[in-house]
Amino acid sequence: MCKHKLAFLNGDRKMLYDSSQEKLLAEVLSSAAYAVLRKQLDEYQEQLNELESEMDKIKEREKNLKSDFAYELAQGHKKGSRN
């Protein structure tokens, strides 16, 4: 899903090519079909946000793992342990 399609589905008027298209966008956004689509879009965005949060946590774990390993290589032991 590209940012342009997402902006359209969210009713962002700034993404329109021509301001004369605003009336058509308003018609689309007020249609019964859009109400169903909007619910699906909200669910999609919620799931996407959850995944992005999980990815952030994984990236943080990766960063910490790399940092810990670099420390071990430089110091010859794990943080908090002594040889």
Model confidence over 31-78: pLDDT tens digits? 999 989 999 999 999 999 999 999 999 999 999 999 999 999 999 888
The pLDDT tens digits of the residues spanning 71-82 come to 999 998 888 876
CA-based nearest residue to 38, from 46, 72, 75? 46
| pTM of the model as a whole | 0.64
> How far from 5 is each of 10, 16, 52, 68, CA to CA, in Å?
9, 11, 19, 42
